[in-house]
Amino acid sequence: MHDLKTFFSDLGILKENISIKTLTSFKIGGNAKLVFYPNSIESIQTSIFYLKEKGIDFKMWGMGSNILASDDDYNGVIIKFDQALNNIEIKETFVTVGAGVSLIALAYKTCQLGLSGFEYATGIPGSVGGAIYMNAGAYKHDTYEILNRVYVYKNNEFVWMNKDELDYSYRHTSFCDHKDWIIIKAEFNLIHGDVKAIEAVVNDRKTRRCQTQPLNLPSAGSVFRNPEGYFAWQVIDQLGLRGKQVGGAMFSTVHSNFIVNVDNASSRDVFDLINLAIQLSKENLNIELVPEVEFFNWR
């Protein structure tokens, strides 16, 4: 432990025994033995090399908005990168942005500059890195429509990868299959548009989000991908699961593809609800529900 503290002392802030509940939008999880807050991209690179060399388990962590962490303690290092990877550079229509930048903040910033492309993202919580990881989207648009290239740590080196080098589809990308690849930053190509027209779309999406999503309770956003030909909430409603509660977790009565933490839910409460929906959907409707949430520290 002393060696770790010494090593990280010039690279950022290292904290011990942090509740993972404070790091996720679900407000669920055990304790993390160590959480490291790097102060630069160089600090992230140095820490990754060091932890790999020492064989210490680590997890890159953005805003924690799409994660279901187990209630078990995590004995590795969480690298909380959203403060270090928060730069935004804009040159004409090209936007280069750190993986830790809030997707919503980026959407509003580009909107104000009259750049169109991120309107779909004004209601999606989480970081740019998370959006690239899973090809996040809404309103029939997604992240890879405007993505140009990604700066990635893989195979012990940092490289730019063009979009055409990455397999991607609905809510799935190469990063889902290569969990050791780490997204550092990305470049997007937007188009010039009318500021007022873009603002009108953004404000409409914001209103719809406030009316149709349970924003007053902790959640991880949409739980399941939409099966082909259906919306996931329709499947959950057909199964009679809207409002279904297990322990402190419940399928939201506002939007049934959200599981909300209504009463100090455990990770097992949420996990059991997810599995219940998957099982009933397969048995009764022959529809396969695939979770969107990422499971962290499950054994």
What is the span of the domain harbouring residue 274? Answer: 215-296
Structure confidence at residue 135 (pLDDT): 93
SS3 230: coil
In a domain, 207, yes or no: no
Active site residues: 171, 222, 292
Domain of 104, CATH number, reads 3.30.465.10
Upper half-sphere CA count for residue 231 (Cβ side, 13 Å): 11
For residues 192 and 116, give the distance between their C-alpha atoms in angstroms, rounded to a whole number: 6
Could you say which of 197, 227, 256 is where a domain stops?
Answer: 197
Residues 98 and 193 in one domain: yes
Could you say which of 26, 51, 80 is where a domain stops?
Answer: 80
User: Phi then psi for 95, rounded to 5 degrees?
Assistant: -120, 115
Mean pLDDT by 10 residues, the chain (299 residues): 81 95 97 95 90 93 94 96 91 96 93 94 88 89 96 92 93 91 96 93 84 93 94 97 98 97 98 98 98 94
Structure confidence at residue 14 (pLDDT): 94
pTM for this entry: 0.90
In the chain, the number of structural domains is 3
Point out which residues pair with 290 in neighbouring strands.
none
User: Phi then psi for 16, rounded to 5 degrees?
Assistant: -110, 150
Structure confidence at residue 137 (pLDDT): 86
Could you say which of 197, 227, 253 is where a domain stops?
Answer: 197
Structure confidence at residue 209 (pLDDT): 82
